[in-house]
A and B are shown apart, each in its own frame.
Chain A
Amino acid sequence: MSMILENKALSLYCVIVNFGEGSKVLKASKELGVTGGTFLLGKGTIKNSILNMLGLDEVRKEILLMVIEESLEESLNEHLRKRFNLDKPNHGITFSIPITHLAILNRHEYISKPKMRGADDMKYEAIVTIVDKGLSDDVVEAAQSAGSTGGTVIHGRGAGSNDTAKLFNIEIEPEKDIVLILSESEKTEAIVNSIKDKLNIDEPGKGVIFVVDVNRTLGLYRE
């Protein structure tokens, strides 16, 4: 899949649905050629004064993250909309974010994009690393050795193209650690390469790294 993905515009496709629906969405997406996805758990709120008064305004949600080719967005949107009635209220939402770069099974070194917006302010990028559970410490360590100041670890589960086992006909999706790192654009290259080398992201099934552009930040510590 790496060879196909290379040099193509990519996006991060996010779906937020009620708990339990996520796996179905991923399955439907796979029909269109999506290779895998990662789930996070969250809580959603409902705007309904009666339910608020009763204290019943919290729902468990699943957030599904998928890295897809940008050209697939249109058809995936249509497919999911039809299958899960997403145009009706309370059936879930989707959105997509352009990805600056993806490092998965990629033999080439990561090279920063040339600056597009001129050299006005300090630019930041968000580096998202998804690895097997328990490896987040290694990711943060590798990032720090390359100049990152820190990272945030989220716990989730994921399903790639070939690593789901079935038990009583229910798919078992392995647990994942998702590491979010905000870095200055100049440092991104070094950090991504450091993580990639330390965790052998090049090898199949070892994880995914992708980089998303960030517009504004607050609260980042700068030396």
Chain B
Amino acid sequence: MDLLLEKFKEVFKSVLPISILVIVLNFTLVPIETDMLIRFIIGSVLVVIGLGIFLFGADIGIASIGNLMGEEVAKTNKVYLVALLGFILGFFITVAEPDLQILANEVSGASGGAVPAPLILVVVSIGVGVMVAMGLLRIIYEKPLNKFLTLIYFIIFILGLWVSEEFLAISVDASGATTGAMTTPFILALGLGVSQLKGGKTSEEDSFGLVGIASTGPILAVMILNIIAGADKIVGEAEVFQAHSGILGPYLEEFAVMIKEAALPLIPLIILFVAFDVFKFKIHRSRKNRILKGLVYTYVGLVLFLAGVNAGFMEVGRVMGYGIAMLPYKWIVPFIGFLLGMMVVLAEPAVHVLTKQVEDVTSGHIPRKIILFTLSAGIAFAVSMSLLRIMIPGLKLWHFLLPGFGLAAFLSHKVPPIFVGIAYDAGGVASGPMTATFVLAFAQGAASAIPTANVLVDGFGVIAMVAMMPLVALQLLGLIFKIKAKREGINVHDSGK
């Protein structure tokens, strides 16, 4: 039982900070209703339990499937098959992502119905499929990740010149939406499987980066769609916010929704797994059982986690954001955002998956704690900058995104390659369900209290910042690693070799 206890201790430690922060805020700055506070505490407990179970499942279920498929893809040894399989995997995993379906509806509504939601869904999924295929081919052809990503982001930049600010934000948000709790561990494991089977000198650094590449797919797709469809103003208003009352009611509601939503992304995974197993893997029965058990855990864990986040965290975020922005001393908003960002990312499911993979691949050379620390600092910065942008009308999203992505591209040529992969992956990982829900709600709450802000427009773009900052933060960490290592006389492989 030690093992279970260990896991829950780890998860508990990562959820505790954010819970304490909210409770402290409740008793000092913004008192919230008792019902809501109780719901938040129940939510925290559900998040701990759900996250613990989910991580177990992700490890033995999704990650195993991803690894097996990655190995199988690499074994085919035919370029067109690698590309085709990559596309199929990327497409079907994305099309079933609930977050993306929500986003597609929102975007469709925001564009006044000019772009139908199913079209957005399909286009974004094609985007991910194409990029996963490209990412796999990159590993097989040993093209350097930094050059590859710089090229993609350069294309995004060029396209961005024709896209309105609103759609710029939406496109980056779409990339956040596609890297959901199920998708990310799967794509991470897929990249790992391919690079490990391929082996060779770059195998370690190639184990990362596929999530980063895949998450550029939606950006490109939405931008191209916007340029073709030509809708450039967001119309319509954000939904009127209505706080739930009661304690159990919202949970029952959320459970009913989540039982369906969490199942959706599992369906293509199971179908693909069974299909692969019949034709290719033919793995041992006990191993298959283990994987299937893993999928059950993942599902149960995710339902609990998402219900906890949606019923317990979201409204609190919204109310807190509003309450804090209404305070007479406005400067505190970005400061609270800083603390919030710092703590919320620790409770993000895929962050645990990524940091564990980093430790496994580098045999513990890059410790989990350092990645977490850096990521925490990065997200804290991202959230506080987002709030500053909402408060100051003159500050535009691209004032942050352009230098941010530019700096990231520059750094990617300066730091050890493995950090490039980890950083770009972390961008997709950090913008998961916890951050997306809670931070977004907080920002929207703040926006609704600030007269110059627009809840709908300013809400988009928060995720973009959260997805961008890890690229910079973790690559800076790589730079420090390199400098430190050099001074102490350790051999870290240079990107320019």
- Given A172-B485, A174-B491, the answer on whether A54 and B293 have CB atoms closer than 8 Å is yes
Interface residue ranges of B367-401 to A (CB < 8 Å): 367, 369-370, 373
A2-31 interface with B by 8 A CB criterion:
18-19, 22-23
Contact between chains at A56 and B363 (CB < 8 Å): no
**In chain A, what residue has the closest Cβ to B10?**
A20
Interchain nearest-CB distance for A88 vs B (Å) = 11
Interface residues on A, range: 35 or more
Distance to closest chain B CB from A70 (angstroms): 28
**B56 within 8 Å of A by Cβ?**
yes
Q: How far is the CA of A156 from the CA of B361 in the complex (A)?
A: 10
Interface 9-residue window, one of B1-9, B94-102, B426-434:
B1-9
* Residues 51-71 of A at the B interface (beta carbon under 8 Å): 51, 54-56, 58-60, 62
Q: When A55-B60, A58-B60, A134-B201 are in contact, do A39 and B488 touch as well, CB less than 8 Å?
A: no
How far in angstroms is the closest Cβ of chain A from B320? 30
Contact A167 B490 (CB under 8 A): no
| A22 interface neighbour in B201, B364, B373, Cβ under 8 Å | B364
Contacts known (A170-B369, A172-B485, A175-B362); A134 close to B491, Cβ less than 8 A: yes
Cβ A167 vs Cβ B484 within 8 A: yes
Q: A23: which B residues are within 8 A, CB to CB?
A: 364
The stretch from A73-81, A106-114, A157-165 touching chain B is A157-165
Q: B195-235 interface mask toward A, CB cutoff 8 Å, 1 = contact, 0 = none? A: 00000010010000000000000000000000000000000
Check A55 against B293 for contact (C-beta < 8 Å).
yes
Q: In this assembly, does A98 line the interface, its C-beta being within 8 Å of a C-beta of chain B?
A: no
Known: A157-B363, A170-B369. A56 touches B488 (CB 8 A): no
A221 proximal to B (CB < 8 A): no
Choice from A19, A46, A165 contacting B485 with Cβ under 8 Å: A165
Report how far A40 CA is from B293 CA in the complex, Å: 28
* A23 to B484 Cα, complex, angstroms: 19
In the complex, whether B470 has a CB less than 8 A from a CB of chain A is no
Contact of B403 with A by CB under 8 A: no
Contact with A along B308-330 (1 / 0, CB 8 A): 00000000000000000000000
With A56-B4, A163-B490 known as contacts, the answer to whether A41 contacts B360 (CB < 8 A) is yes
CB of A187 within 8 Å of the partner chain: no
Name the residue of chain B whose CB is nearest to the CB of A44.
Answer: B3
Given the complex of chains A and B, what is the CA–CA distance between A116 and B113 in angstroms?
Answer: 88
Q: Which of B481-497 contact A (CB under 8 A)?
A: 481, 484-485, 487-493
B294 at the interface (CB under 8 A from A): yes
Given A39-B363, A51-B1, A157-B362: A172 touches B489 (CB 8 Å cut-off): no
In the complex, A167→B368 CA distance in Å? 12
Residues of A within 8 A of B370 (CB): 167-168, 170
Main SS at interface, chain B: helix
Q: Total number of A-B contacts with CB less than 8 angstroms?
A: 83
Interface residues of B in 12-71 (CB under 8 A from A): 56, 60
The answer to whether B290 has its CB under 8 Å from any CB of chain A is yes
Q: Is B365 an interface residue (CB 8 A)?
A: yes
A172 and B484 in contact, given A55-B290, A134-B491, A163-B489 (Cβ under 8 angstroms): yes
In the complex, A22→B366 CA distance in Å?
A: 14
The 5 tightest CB contacts between A and B, nearest first, are A55-B293, A165-B488, A165-B484, A174-B490, A175-B365
Q: How far is the CA of A40 from the CA of B2 in the complex (A)?
A: 22
Bound form: Cα–Cα A78–B491 in Å: 35
Q: How far is the CB of B127 from chain A (nearest CB, A)?
A: 35
A90 at the interface (CB under 8 A from B): yes
Task: Enumerate chain A residues within 8 angstroms of B267, measured Cβ to Cβ.
Answer: none
Quick check: B3 and A56 within 8 Å, CB to CB? yes
B332 adjacent to chain A (CB < 8 Å)? no
Task: Tell me if A205 is interfacial: C-beta within 8 Å of chain B.
Answer: yes
Contact with A along B336-370 (1 / 0, CB 8 A): 00000000000000000000000110111111011
Among A54, A172, A205: residue with most chain B CB under 10 A: A172
Min CB distance B317 to A, Å, is 29
Interface membership of chain B positions 108-119, coded 1 if the CB is closer than 8 angstroms to chain A and 0 otherwise: 000000000000
Task: List the B side residues contacting A205 at CB < 8 Å.
Answer: 489
Contact A62 B373 (CB under 8 A): no
What are 21 residue pairs bridging A and B, where the CB atoms are less than 8 Å apart in the complex? A18-B6, A19-B364, A51-B3, A55-B60, A56-B3, A56-B4, A58-B60, A62-B364, A133-B491, A134-B491, A155-B204, A157-B362, A157-B364, A157-B365, A168-B369, A172-B365, A172-B367, A172-B481, A173-B364, A173-B365, A174-B492
Q: A132 within 8 Å of B by Cβ?
A: yes
B402 within 8 A of A: no
